[in-house]
């Protein structure tokens, strides 16, 4: 596995450099930027940042809802 220093949302990170470009354009409708990052060959850097932020938010919301449900159930017992 290749360890990438920095992070998906750091535009200066090696994982977001042109060396990961696939020669294709981003699959996000209306975007014509070069596709390819260390995290995905399909999205450009900007769309990939937005996508991962959205997935992260959804996972955080899911986790918070699970915690809330668990706390409510423990009070019912």
* pTM (two decimals): 0.78
Q: What is the pLDDT of residues 1-18, one digit of tens each?
A: 555 556 888 988 889 999
What is the secondary structure of the chain as a DSSP string? Answer: ----SS-TT-TTSGGGSGGG--SSB-SSTT--SBP--SS-SSS-HHHHHHHHHHHHHHHHHHHHHHHHHHHHHHHH-
Q: What is the pLDDT of residues 16-58, one digit of tens each?
A: 999 999 999 999 999 999 999 999 999 999 999 999 999 989 9
pLDDT at 73: 83
């Amino acid at each position: 596995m290749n360890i990438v220093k920095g992070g998906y949302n750091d535009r200066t990170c090696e994982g977001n450099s042109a060396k990961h470009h696939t020669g294709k354009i981003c699959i996000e409708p209306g975007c014509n930027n070069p596709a390819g990052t260390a995290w995905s060959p399909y999205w450009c850097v900007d769309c990939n940042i937005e996508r991962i932020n959205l997935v992260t938010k959804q996972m955080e919301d899911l986790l918070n809802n699970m915690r809330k449900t668990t706390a409510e159930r423990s009070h019912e017992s």
